């Protein structure tokens, strides 16, 4: 689910917070023109939920106007907040139906607040008492989590959902979380917490990727049957897409130090997600944080990726990602370089029902169907000509004038250089410096 980071300001400083690094830099509220752009983007993506977070989203000076705007655009609004908002926010919230406004409220242990804040939170929660669509968020970042207060709050104010997050690590930043090797130490807490919550008719759901092996089969079975764990939701990371105030986007907070893009580079959410899936594919199902993952039945059967992907990326110190950047440099099409067929590429010809040429990269197994009009160019791809020279020899010189006609008619608007560029990116061509 994409999150709109309305602001990088926060009035608290939770130890485990994965946004910390973004909060300490230059503080910024999302300008209204960017709010409009994000709404347009989400609507274009046919994603009707405006999920605000931050920092603390209710600190945005135009928070109320933004909520009105998103609702007027027909969207549902989800507010992720620390529940310290002002009176005017409470007044607005009380006027919006629970079908159009949902809350995920992150409430820390009472000892962790400065004087007056806990009272403010309680007063705000009192105004939401019994409201549908309120989930509380509880983060597990220490081995002996202090959690009784969250169950008391849920009971007192009639909230019947708690989201349980194993605090996620942030790549190359510091926040409180448990190393993957120690996560099994919180298993007794999790089982006990779920039991207490269920006795109060409060349902608990795990958020994010959880290593299955921290549970015995009996424990995992119980958590699955009770809906606390879900094999789709809790074994693998999917790009969330966090949208920053300046429209920088990242896959999730944990990996925000590695790959960033701008919202304008993508037409839809799906496109942005595909981009990040591609980036992280160098780790997902390729690098695991624990030795035992390699022989693991849960990995083979259910695709457990070894908890949050940051564990695997940190293990490799981000090297695969760096390599990906270097490789990406090599596949940036530079028209001055000569072009040659890549080393492991072979050509296969088929003629039923019509002439078809397939380039096969024998190293990767990937195939590329070549427009049959372009087949005569292959002998010229020997590393002695650059793009312009290849085009020249195709439309006149070495390959013959009649090809120009063929080229114009059959390949039509298809530009030869864009075909070269695509072949290069897919590993069918290599560039040779002149």
Ligand X SMILES: C[S@@+](CC[C@H](N)C(=O)[O-])C[C@H]1O[C@@H](n2cnc3c(N)ncnc32)[C@H](O)[C@@H]1O
Measured from the CB atom, the residue of 54 and 245 that comes closer to ligand X is: 54
Question: What dihedral angle (degrees, nearest 10) is formed by the CA atoms of 402, 407, 412, 413?
Answer: -130
Measured from the CB atom, the residue of 302 and 380 that comes closer to ligand SF4 is: 302
In the list ligand SF4, ligand X, none, the entry touching 293 (Cβ below 5 to 8 angstroms by class) is: ligand SF4
In the list ligand X, ligand SF4, none, the entry touching 13 (Cβ below 5 to 8 angstroms by class) is: ligand SF4
In whole angstroms, how close is the CB of 164 to ligand SF4 at the nearest point?
A: 15
Q: Which of residues 63-92 bind ligand SF4 (CB under 6 A)?
A: 82
- Contact between 106 and ligand SF4 (CB under 6 A)? yes
Binding mask 297-336 toward ligand SF4 (x if CB under 6 A, else -) reads -xx----x-xx-----------------------------
In the list ligand X, ligand SF4, none, the entry touching 211 (Cβ below 5 to 8 angstroms by class) is: ligand SF4
- Contact between 54 and ligand SF4 (CB under 6 A)? yes
Residue among 341, 273, 281 nearest 305 (CA): 281
In whole angstroms, how close is the CB of 322 to ligand SF4 at the nearest point?
A: 24
Q: Which of residues 260-289 bind ligand SF4 (CB under 6 A)?
A: 288
In whole angstroms, how close is the CB of 220 to ligand SF4 at the nearest point?
A: 9
In whole angstroms, how close is the CB of 217 to ligand SF4 at the nearest point?
A: 11
- Contact between 213 and ligand SF4 (CB under 6 A)? yes
Instruction: Tell me how far CA of residue 28 lies from CA of 22, 202, 218, in angstroms.
Output: 10, 37, 48
The first and second tokens of residue 161, run together, are: 């959902």
In whole angstroms, how close is the CB of 307 to ligand SF4 at the nearest point?
A: 6
In the list ligand X, ligand SF4, none, the entry touching 338 (Cβ below 5 to 8 angstroms by class) is: none
- The site for ligand X, by CB under 6 A, has a size of 20
In whole angstroms, how close is the CB of 250 to ligand SF4 at the nearest point?
A: 15
CB under 8 A, 24+ apart: contacts of 8-13? 8/54, 8/55, 8/244, 8/245, 9/54, 9/55, 9/56, 9/59, 10/54, 10/55, 10/56, 10/59, 10/82, 11/56, 11/59, 11/82, 11/84, 12/56, 12/82, 12/84, 12/108, 12/113, 12/117
Measured from the CB atom, the residue of 79 and 269 that comes closer to ligand SF4 is: 79
Binding mask 99-138 toward ligand X (x if CB under 6 A, else -) reads -----x-x------------------------------x-
Is 378 in contact with 347 (CB distance < 8 Å)? Answer: yes
In the list ligand SF4, ligand X, none, the entry touching 167 (Cβ below 5 to 8 angstroms by class) is: ligand X
In whole angstroms, how close is the CB of 103 to ligand X at the nearest point?
A: 9
Round to whole Å and give the CA distance between 230 and 291: 24
- Contact between 256 and ligand X (CB under 6 A)? no
Considering only 66, 296, 312, 377, the residue that binds ligand SF4 (CB under 6 A) is 296
Round to whole Å and give the CA distance between 247 and 251: 13
In the list ligand X, ligand SF4, none, the entry touching 175 (Cβ below 5 to 8 angstroms by class) is: ligand X
- Contact between 168 and ligand X (CB under 6 A)? yes
Measured from the CB atom, the residue of 88 and 216 that comes closer to ligand X is: 88
Q: Which of residues 33-92 bind ligand X (CB under 6 A)?
A: 53-54, 56, 80-82
- Longest CA span, the chain: 85
In whole angstroms, how close is the CB of 124 to ligand SF4 at the nearest point?
A: 14
Residues in contact with ligand X by CB under 6 A are 10, 16-19, 53-54, 56, 80-82, 104, 106, 137, 139, 165, 167-168, 175, 177
Residues in contact with ligand SF4 by CB under 6 A are 10, 12-14, 17, 19, 54-56, 82, 106, 211-213, 288, 290, 292-293, 296, 298-299, 304, 306-307
């Amino acid at each position: 689910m994409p999150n709109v980071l309305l602001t990088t300001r926060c009035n608290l400083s939770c130890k485990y917070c994965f946004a910390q690094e973004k909060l300490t830099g230059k503080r910024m509220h999302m300008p209204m023109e960017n709010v409009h752009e994000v709404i347009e983007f989400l609507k274009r993506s046919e994603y009707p939920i405006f999920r605000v977070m931050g920092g603390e989203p209710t600190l945005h000076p135009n928070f109320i106007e933004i909520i009105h705007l998103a609702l007027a655009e027909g969207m549902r609004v989800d507010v992720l907040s620390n529940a310290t908002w002002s009176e005017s926010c409470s007044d607005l919230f009380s006027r919006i139906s629970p079908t159009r406004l949902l809350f995920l409220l992150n409430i820390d242990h009472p000892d962790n607040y400065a004087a007056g804040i806990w009272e403010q939170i309680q007063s705000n929660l009192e105004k939401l008492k019994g409201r549908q669509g309120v989930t509380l968020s509880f983060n597990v970042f220490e081995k002996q989590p202090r959690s009784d207060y969250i169950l008391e709050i849920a009971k007192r104010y009639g909230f019947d959902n708690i989201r349980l997050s194993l605090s996620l690590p942030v790549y190359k930043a510091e926040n409180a979380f448990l190393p993957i090797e120690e996560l099994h130490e919180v298993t007794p807490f999790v089982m006990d917490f779920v039991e207490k919550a269920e006795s109060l008719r409060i349902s608990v759901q795990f958020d994010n990727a959880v290593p299955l092996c921290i549970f015995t089969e009996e424990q995992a079975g119980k958590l699955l049957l009770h809906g606390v764990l879900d094999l789709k939701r809790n074994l693998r990371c999917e790009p969330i897409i966090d949208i920053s105030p300046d429209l920088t986007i990242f896959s999730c907070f944990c990996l925000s130090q590695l790959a960033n893009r701008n919202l304008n580079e993508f037409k839809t959410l799906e496109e942005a997600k595909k981009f990040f899936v591609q980036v992280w594919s160098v780790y997902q199902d390729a690098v695991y944080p624990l030795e035992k993952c390699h022989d693991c039945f849960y990995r083979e059967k259910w695709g457990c990726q070894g908890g949050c992907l940051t564990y695997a990326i940190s293990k490799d110190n981000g090297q695969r990602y760096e390599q990906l950047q270097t490789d990406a440099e090599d596949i940036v099409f530079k028209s001055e370089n000569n072009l040659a067929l890549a080393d492991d590429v072979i050509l296969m010809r088929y003629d039923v029902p019509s002439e078809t040429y397939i380039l096969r990269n024998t190293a990767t197994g990937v195939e590329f169907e070549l427009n049959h009009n372009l087949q005569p160019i292959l002998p010229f791809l020997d590393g002695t000509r650059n793009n312009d020279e290849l085009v020249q020899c195709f439309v006149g010189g070495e390959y013959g004038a009649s090809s120009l006609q063929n080229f114009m008619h059959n390949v039509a608007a298809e530009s030869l250089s864009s075909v070269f560029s695509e072949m290069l990116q897919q590993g069918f061509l290599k560039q040779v410096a002149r």
